[in-house]
Structure 1
Amino acid sequence: MKRGINGDGGHSSSTRGDPAESCKRVRPLEEEEPEDVASSWGCLPQEILLHIFQYLPLLDRAYASQVCRGWNQAFHMPELWRCFEFELNQPASSYLKATHPDLIKQIIKRHSNHLQYVSFKVDSSTESAEAACDILSQLVNCSLKTLGLISTARPSFMELPKSHFISALTVVFVNSKSLSSLKIDDTPVDDPSLKVLVANNSDTLKLLKMSSCPHVSPAGILCVADQCHGLRELALNYHLLSDELLLALSSEKHVHLEHLRIDVVSENPGQTQFHTIKKSSWDAMVRHSPKFNLVMYFFLYEDEFGPFFRYEIPVTHLYFGRSVSKDVLGRVGMTCPRLVELVVCANGLRPLDEELIRIAERCQQLSAIGLGECEVSCSAFVEFVKMCGRRLSQLSIMEEVLIPDHKYSLDEIHWEVSKHLGRVWFPDMMPTW
């Protein structure tokens, strides 16, 4: 090779001729010498290099930055650093590759003011969560628009001292001023830190996901709803839901809410007392935001459903992660007219024929259903599909759920169901391995 590359990405003094002149050659690439090809690539316009670098994996992008000065300059273009995911894992406990420490230092030194869409993905180790907090605390020149904290295993952020986590998160809340999306599930965020968030980002916050944040009270989340009038998506645990919160979200000053996700979780059977939300509060939400999606995940034991489904609620997506009784499913058909999607993990050994028929009758918008460890007679299932018709875009039923009867066998049912759906359908099969 007659051409070399020095340490800072520039061409060495042994370069033959002027690189600018090399770029003007119009010979086909197959006729050029290897060093001429390198010169041609090195002289690509910055806009094209930026487009190419955006599609490169991070490690390949870093390697490419060492080719020449032009590519090194492209590597540091602000547009490439607006969106970044820090992956923080311990080699002994995770198979995922972590973001290299040297790259993290370079980002903080040269690109912290360019970061806008940032997420931290950590494994189950406390060390990874501490590293994430260390990076957060250094983002004093940032102006983030979105921030997500993701624990890939158990919530490692919860194992940190609360004051340490809050201090790091507050740095972002104070300095960003324009946060629109915040995902902080399973973290020790608390009411005072939410007040800091509101004081600095109330005009811009649109999405807030904070399920399983035990240090936040109903008053803390109400503060957010009272001040952040642009909030469109909210996810939280049921114990934070209150009549006051729904009324705040339904005020004239508030924009129309688009998504509200509620996780109803019980860790210890019989030890959690669930309050009741007034029907008038739900009605206010529907009047203010008639098209909003209410997504509810239930992880309760069968004897804990007493306060729920006693009157009409505007739930659109309903998921039962544990066994649920026939009685509760019967009440779902009577109280959830806006239901679009229903997933039942388990029910037991009592057929759900009447309950499914009632849901088909009353839930006129139902378009997706999934049944796990349940039982339904083939005749009732066919009748259910016939009543719902082609609006059932998703129908996931295990073969073990369907009980043959005098009208249909398992070999016959898929033809009848396919006819009413207008497409070929088969029940799901349990894997044999």
Structure 2
Amino acid sequence: MEHEEEDLEEGLLDDENCSKEVEPRHEAEEQLLKKREVIEHEEHEEPEEPQSDWAFLPDVCLRQVFWWLCDRDRASAAPVCHHWHQVMRSPWLWRQRTFHFSGHISQRRYSELDKAVDYMRAYGGYLEHLEVFFGYPFSSSVSRRFQETMRTFLATLRKTGSSLRSLAILQMALDHSTWNRRVQNALVRSLTFYLLHGGSQLSFLNLSGAHFNLAQGLQVLEALAAAQQQSGRLPALITLNLNNFFAKKLAVYGTSDFAKVMCRFKRLSSLTLNYRCISDDLLQALASSCAGTKGKGSLHTFTVLCHVEEPHVQVISHDAWALLAQSCPSLKVDMSVDWILAPDRLRCILLGEIPLHALSLTSCFFRDFNWTVKPALANLIPLYRCCLQKLTLDINNVHETVDEELLEVVTVCSKLTYLKVWAFLDISFLDRLLRKCLDKQCALSTIRVQLYTNIHETRVANEMLVDVESRYRQLIDSQLNYCATYCPIN
């Protein structure tokens, strides 16, 4: 009996010990399960991505980056975030735009006209600087599409209310045979209407390569002048580029109407014209319109382009150039004369009263011995010894040497800092030229020389060139913008 009671007590003790051991096990298991649930929950949660450095870029930096993007990339970047979308709508990004109209019909429905018009509708109100390039009008259908594109394009631009400050419409080439008269006139009407109603704020206009006939060109200029005067403020137009504005064969100097319309532009600072437009009436009109007040004329840069295939036989008086130079004391004339090296013709073009800042003389016919450049170097260019700063020569002097005359020009023209010469010259010319620079006998700081030669193998000549340059290496490295090469001429 006693043994049974002892066994019973031991059993009860074992049960109590077992229950005490089971309770901690259950708690440990529950805690383990909870930890597993937490871990599984954290594994299923998406980790928070750290913010990119782009998110902290200031607006001014983002605008600089976005400015380099094309329209397609800008469209992709705009929806990235609210911040980028807001920055992408900044007017600064859309103030400047260039369009290329090829005239091709796109295989896609979205044509180049659609792109241009959509751009105008979305951002035309911000636009301040616009460039339009025309492709080559290889057929009448292409020229008609050009006209229709420009009509819609300019109408959309005008409706946006933008105030363009600069406009360039380049290479229309209206004298090409693919332009018929009706399409020409329609394009001129669209351009004239836009300039009349939207050209009051223009300070820069470039219509180079338009090739208008006389009536069309005068119509366009009249509309621009009227818009500038109707604005109620001083005329804003400062820069006017009319290179090849009129058709190539048109002798504009023979009419006074061009001078009359040019007289209406009162604040021109930079003007580009072809020599076929220059006349005494024009120079007098510019002297009057750009005279300014207190003896300070507004015209600072006058670029004149002359080509042998264009009308250039008019006689300009010395007094007309002198009057313009007197009315605009800070005037600098840059003149380019192509393929005209006959002394009698050059003498009529390069008058001593011209305040010539830069001169370019070029010849094309490498086997034409009927001209000589020596009179120009010896007699004409020295006329500008006190004002000429840039001289460019591309000449075929295979039948004559001009080394001495050219060195004399460099010495006499005390303000000549830029010299670019492509000609038949001896290697000793470079040696003597660099010696003058070293001895401070000339003011040159930029030298670009291409030595023409009839010898195809130039290894020995190049070694001589390197030898000359090595003797003046310190001068070249420290004071000159210098380059000299040999060019074989077959």
Short-chain TM bin = 0.7 to 0.9
Q: Look up the match of 1:285.
A: 324
The 5 Å alignment of 1:46-65 reads 49-65=62-78
Q: Take 2:116 and 2:466, find their aligned partners in 1: how far apart are those partners?
A: 59
- Indicate conservation of the 8 Å contact 1:313/1:335, yes or no: no
Query: How many angstroms does 1:331 deviate by?
Result: 2.7
- Are 1:174 and 2:196 an aligned pair? yes
Q: Look up the match of 1:147.
A: 167
Query: How many angstroms does 1:196 deviate by?
Result: 0.9
- Are 1:183 and 2:221 an aligned pair? no
CA separation of 1:143/1:158 partners in 2, compared to 1, >3 Å: closer, same or farther? farther
Higher mean C-alpha displacement, 342-351 vs 409-418: 409-418
- Indicate conservation of the 8 Å contact 2:453/2:488, yes or no: no
Consecutive unaligned residues of structure 2, counting only runs of 5 or more, are 1-45, 230-234, 365-371, 456-462
Q: Take 2:54 and 2:354, find their aligned partners in 1: how far apart are those partners?
A: 61
Query: How many angstroms does 1:198 deviate by?
Result: 0.4
Show CA shifts across 1:33-67 (max 9, x none). 34x749x9789876665454334333311221243
2:391 to 332, 339, 342: 342
**What one-letter code is carried by the residue in structure 1 that aligns with 2:447?**
L
**What one-letter code is carried by the residue in structure 1 that aligns with 2:380?**
V
- Indicate conservation of the 8 Å contact 2:357/2:390, yes or no: yes
**What one-letter code is carried by the residue in structure 1 that aligns with 2:331?**
F
- Indicate conservation of the 8 Å contact 1:212/1:236, yes or no: yes
Higher mean C-alpha displacement, 346-355 vs 302-311: 302-311
Query: How many angstroms does 1:102 deviate by?
Result: 4.5
TM-score by length of 2: 0.68
SS in 1 for 2:329: coil
Q: Take 2:325 and 2:471, find their aligned partners in 1: how far apart are those partners?
A: 38
Q: Take 1:59 and 1:366, find their aligned partners in 2: how far apart are those partners?
A: 48
SS in 2 for 1:348: coil
Higher mean C-alpha displacement, 420-429 vs 385-394: 420-429
Q: Take 1:41 and 1:329, find their aligned partners in 2: how far apart are those partners?
A: 61
Q: Take 1:132 and 1:72, find their aligned partners in 2: how far apart are those partners?
A: 31
| Percentage of identical aligned residues | 21
Query: How many angstroms does 1:120 deviate by?
Result: 0.7
Q: Take 2:320 and 2:133, find their aligned partners in 1: how far apart are those partners?
A: 37
Query: How many angstroms does 1:417 deviate by?
Result: 5.3
Q: Take 1:71 and 1:171, find their aligned partners in 2: how far apart are those partners?
A: 38
CA separation of 1:228/1:409 partners in 2, compared to 1, >3 Å: closer, same or farther? same
Q: Look up the match of 1:122.
A: 134
CA separation of 1:81/1:273 partners in 2, compared to 1, >3 Å: closer, same or farther? closer
SS in 1 for 2:99: strand
- Indicate conservation of the 8 Å contact 1:369/1:394, yes or no: yes
**What one-letter code is carried by the residue in structure 2 that aligns with 1:343?**
T
SS in 2 for 1:246: helix
Give the number of aligned pairs: 386
- Indicate conservation of the 8 Å contact 1:339/1:366, yes or no: yes
CA separation of 1:119/1:366 partners in 2, compared to 1, >3 Å: closer, same or farther? same
Q: Look up the match of 2:443.
A: 391
- Are 1:106 and 2:115 an aligned pair? no
2:245 to 208, 213, 225: 213
> Structure 1 or 2: larger helix share?
2
Higher mean C-alpha displacement, 394-403 vs 112-121: 394-403
- Indicate conservation of the 8 Å contact 1:143/1:175, yes or no: no
When the two chains are superposed, the root-mean-square deviation of aligned CA atoms in Å is: 3.7
The 5 Å alignment of 1:61-100 reads 61-68=74-81, 71-89=84-102
Q: Take 1:273 and 1:423, find their aligned partners in 2: how far apart are those partners?
A: 40
SS in 2 for 1:147: strand
- Indicate conservation of the 8 Å contact 2:425/2:451, yes or no: no
- Are 1:333 and 2:348 an aligned pair? no
Query: How many angstroms does 1:274 deviate by?
Result: 1.6
- Indicate conservation of the 8 Å contact 2:333/2:354, yes or no: no
2:362 to 321, 346, 366: 321
Q: Take 1:336 and 1:278, find their aligned partners in 2: how far apart are those partners?
A: 17
Structure label with greater radius of gyration: 2
**What one-letter code is carried by the residue in structure 2 that aligns with 1:183?**
N
- Are 1:245 and 2:282 an aligned pair? yes
**What one-letter code is carried by the residue in structure 2 that aligns with 1:150?**
L
1:362 to 402, 408, 412: 412
TM-score by length of 1: 0.76
